[in-house]
A and B are shown apart, each in its own frame.
Chain A
Amino acid sequence: MKRVISGNEAASLAVKLSRVQVISAYPITPQTTIAEKLSELCGSGELDAKFVKVESEHSAMATLIGASSTGVRTFTATSAQGLALMHELLFWASGARLPIVLVDVNRAMAAPWTIWCDQTDSLAQRDTGFLQFYCWSNQEILDSVICAFKIAEKLLLPCMVCYDGFYISHTHEAVEIPEQSDVDKFLPPRDAEYRLDTKDPRTFSGGTLPANFMEIRYKLQKAFEKAPDVINTTYGEFDKLFGRSYSAVEPYYTDDAEAVLLASGSAASTAFHAIRKMRQSGIKAGLLRLRQFRPFPEKELLSYLKPNIKYGVLDRDLSPGTGGVIAQEIRAILNRNNVRIDINEFIAGLGGRDITVDNVTEILLKVRDDKGDKLQINWVGLKN
């Protein structure tokens, strides 16, 4: 059935359809309506889950670490400072190999105080050992959250599904809501091999000597290296049942492009619209949409990045002292693989600044006409 719903409602319905058993969340704009909807669904009995009220995001994640250790399916949602407050425990969740699913509704990090969108909050969690996916539509949110549980539980890795605050979270559009029986076929109940059980007591994640710690970290890295295959298999199964396909990187109009923009989230969506307009007026522009940030889709990106095309990377984030996080990661894989491609770096849309068709057009023309001054960071729409 298709219904017109918000991005946050799409996330909530996906959690319900995934038959999550324990939810813990603390309200923070623009995530709040997810926690509200889920507490309603738990209160009415439509969702047979325990909703644990807590006094902070740190406690929300701690609650899920405990719950997930018993083998149940768990979920939380947060934004910005809330995600930052969880930071310490995000490492714990991945180190303990707990398949917790977290929705981060992207919001800029204060100070100054702000409730509006950018992606610095989740990108700053890149070293915590969470898988990370970025959505550009409400349908993709619903599908990605359902897939996230399956992927997380197969890999024993926690997973973050991210989408832009307000630009997607509070936008209403039509979403195909699958039947519960179909989701049940796709996503069976969690079957945890190891779990906290009073009848079979074990210790989890206890003090580990230098003799063993590195091997456990190595296994964590190996799980991320295995992730692309597991993710693609999961998308294949999802496509078969629901007729919608996903991948880590999506190319649009790239084959004959002179200038290609690499972007994610709502900015990629507006860029797609802008690029179609540019094509109509004969400008050979293209888009690479980055859907997955962890593991960083090295193989996929390398297959699309071509030395004869000029690239711009749009970062709706800032790592002060370096620049855009995504641009930095792209450069790292290019260097590691000895691929010589120059990229232009654009910082745009911080703290909810609108990214318009004119912005995208200006960026792509600048990339196309670039004569080789690659070191500077281009700030889009910056006031004097």
Chain B
Amino acid sequence: MAGTNSPGLKEITVFGRGGQGAVIAAEALADAYFREGYHVQSFPSFGVERRGAPVTAFLRIDNEFIFLRSMIYNADIGLVLSPDIVKGPLFRQSLKDNAAIVINSPARLPELDGRSAWYVDATGIAVSHGLGSKAQPLVNTAMLGAFAKAAGNLKLENLLRAVEESVPHKVENNLRAVNEAYESTVSLG
């Protein structure tokens, strides 16, 4: 699929498991980039969602209207809500070789073979803000905060407004999770 992208087009894939809010994360990011002035297009992996099963959601941003409507096969950025997904073939096959990776993990993941990535303990942040349960934390909004830090082209205030519109419950807690994740995300080479 090399060479399918127009110069301004960026493709982002969100990797999660059913129940973590991957689809809402992609929709909130679309709204945030729209507020930033971009053309946006977000869509879920088309299928039947089941709690716990791998879920991917996609986002395209560009400076012009996006006509490309195929799936995303070579994302520029991977946002990883569920760190165990990096072990599977889906993860490696879905990203560009030099893709930026933002990952929910308190420590460096050996599975990335020394590849640099942005790390954030989104599970810890979600639990501390009462988002979801300990067994099933809703990490999506914390991961969006981490994404904004890593991406560098998205103002935190635009992300916060988008999250405010997207989350159905506990709006304040979610906004605090975004902020805390934004502050605590680090790039490890």
A-side residues, CB < 8 A to B, are 2, 4, 115-116, 166-168, 170-174, 266, 269-270, 272-273, 276-277, 352, 354-358
A357/B70 in contact, CB under 8 A: yes
Which residue on A lies nearest to B9, using beta carbons? Answer: A273
B69/A270 in contact, CB under 8 A: yes
A269/B67 in contact, CB under 8 A: yes
Beyond A4-B27, A4-B40, A166-B46, is A270–B67 a contact (Cβ under 8 Å)? yes
A171/B3 in contact, CB under 8 A: no
B31/A4 in contact, CB under 8 A: yes
Which residue on B lies nearest to A117, using beta carbons? Answer: B46
Not counting A173-B41, A270-B69, A352-B46, a sample of 11 additional A-B residue pairs whose C-beta atoms are within 8 angstroms of each other reads A4-B27, A4-B34, A167-B69, A270-B67, A270-B68, A276-B6, A354-B70, A354-B71, A357-B4, A357-B70, A358-B4
Instruction: Collect the chain A residues with CB atoms within 8 Å of residue B69's CB.
Output: 167-168, 171, 266, 269-270, 273
Query: B142 at the A/B interface (Cβ < 8 Å)?
Result: no
Query: B39 at the A/B interface (Cβ < 8 Å)?
Result: yes
CA–CA, A148 and B48, complex, Å: 31
Instruction: Collect the chain B residues with CB atoms within 8 Å of residue A269's CB.
Output: 67-69
Instruction: Collect the chain A residues with CB atoms within 8 Å of residue B66's CB.
Output: 173, 273
A170/B68 in contact, CB under 8 A: no
Q: How far is the CB of A322 from chain B (nearest CB, A)?
A: 27
Instruction: Collect the chain A residues with CB atoms within 8 Å of residue B42's CB.
Output: 4, 171-173
CA–CA, A168 and B47, complex, Å: 14
B39/A272 in contact, CB under 8 A: no
Chain B, range 27-69, C-beta contacts under 8 Å to A: 27, 30-31, 34, 39-44, 46-48, 66-69
Q: How far is the CB of A275 from chain B (nearest CB, A)?
A: 9
Chain B, range 84-142, C-beta contacts under 8 Å to A: none
In the complex, 6 of the A-B residue pairs with CB atoms within 8 angstroms, ordered by the A residue number, are A4-B31, A167-B69, A168-B69, A174-B40, A270-B68, A356-B73
CA–CA, A38 and B27, complex, Å: 21
B3/A270 in contact, CB under 8 A: no
Which residue on B lies nearest to A167, using beta carbons? Answer: B69
Instruction: Collect the chain B residues with CB atoms within 8 Å of residue A167's CB.
Output: 43, 46, 69
Most buried by A among B3, B27, B43: B43
CA–CA, A36 and B48, complex, Å: 18
B48/A115 in contact, CB under 8 A: yes
CA–CA, A354 and B43, complex, Å: 14
CA–CA, A4 and B73, complex, Å: 23
Q: Which of B1, B43, B46, B68 contacts A172 (CB 8 A)?
A: B43
CA–CA, A269 and B69, complex, Å: 7
The SS class assigned to the B binding surface is loop
Instruction: Collect the chain A residues with CB atoms within 8 Å of residue B47's CB.
Output: 115
Instruction: Collect the chain B residues with CB atoms within 8 Å of residue A352's CB.
Output: 46
Q: How far is the CB of A200 from chain B (nearest CB, A)?
A: 50
Beyond A4-B31, A357-B1, is A171–B41 a contact (Cβ under 8 Å)? yes
Most buried by B among A4, A174, A273: A4
Q: How far is the CB of A267 from chain B (nearest CB, A)?
A: 8
B68/A357 in contact, CB under 8 A: yes
Beyond A115-B48, A270-B67, A356-B70, is A170–B6 a contact (Cβ under 8 Å)? no
A172/B70 in contact, CB under 8 A: no
CA–CA, A174 and B1, complex, Å: 26
Instruction: Collect the chain A residues with CB atoms within 8 Å of residue B34's CB.
Output: 2, 4, 174
Instruction: Collect the chain A residues with CB atoms within 8 Å of residue B40's CB.
Output: 4, 172-174
Instruction: Collect the chain A residues with CB atoms within 8 Å of residue B4's CB.
Output: 277, 356-358
Instruction: Collect the chain A residues with CB atoms within 8 Å of residue B71's CB.
Output: 354, 356
Which residue on B lies nearest to A164, using beta carbons? Answer: B69
Q: How far is the CB of A173 from chain B (nearest CB, A)?
A: 5
Q: How far is the CB of B22 from chain A (nearest CB, A)?
A: 14
Which residue on B lies nearest to A166, using beta carbons? Answer: B46
Q: Which of B3, B39, B46, B70 contacts A170 (CB 8 A)?
A: B46
CA–CA, A277 and B70, complex, Å: 15
Instruction: Collect the chain A residues with CB atoms within 8 Å of residue B6's CB.
Output: 273, 276-277
CA–CA, A325 and B39, complex, Å: 34
B44/A170 in contact, CB under 8 A: yes
CA–CA, A354 and B45, complex, Å: 12
Q: How far is the CB of A185 from chain B (nearest CB, A)?
A: 27
Which residue on A lies nearest to B31, using beta carbons? Answer: A4
Instruction: Collect the chain B residues with CB atoms within 8 Å of residue A170's CB.
Output: 43-44, 46
Which residue on A lies nearest to B39, using beta carbons? Answer: A174
CA–CA, A379 and B24, complex, Å: 36
Q: How far is the CB of A3 from chain B (nearest CB, A)?
A: 8
Q: How far is the CB of A288 from chain B (nearest CB, A)?
A: 15
CA–CA, A141 and B1, complex, Å: 29
CA–CA, A354 and B70, complex, Å: 6
Q: How far is the CB of B55 from chain A (nearest CB, A)?
A: 13
CA–CA, A171 and B46, complex, Å: 10
Which residue on A lies nearest to B3, using beta carbons? Answer: A277
Chain B, range 122-181, C-beta contacts under 8 Å to A: none
Q: How far is the CB of B158 from chain A (nearest CB, A)?
A: 12
CA–CA, A270 and B69, complex, Å: 5
A355/B43 in contact, CB under 8 A: no
Chain B, range 1-24, C-beta contacts under 8 Å to A: 1, 3-4, 6
Q: How far is the CB of A143 from chain B (nearest CB, A)?
A: 15
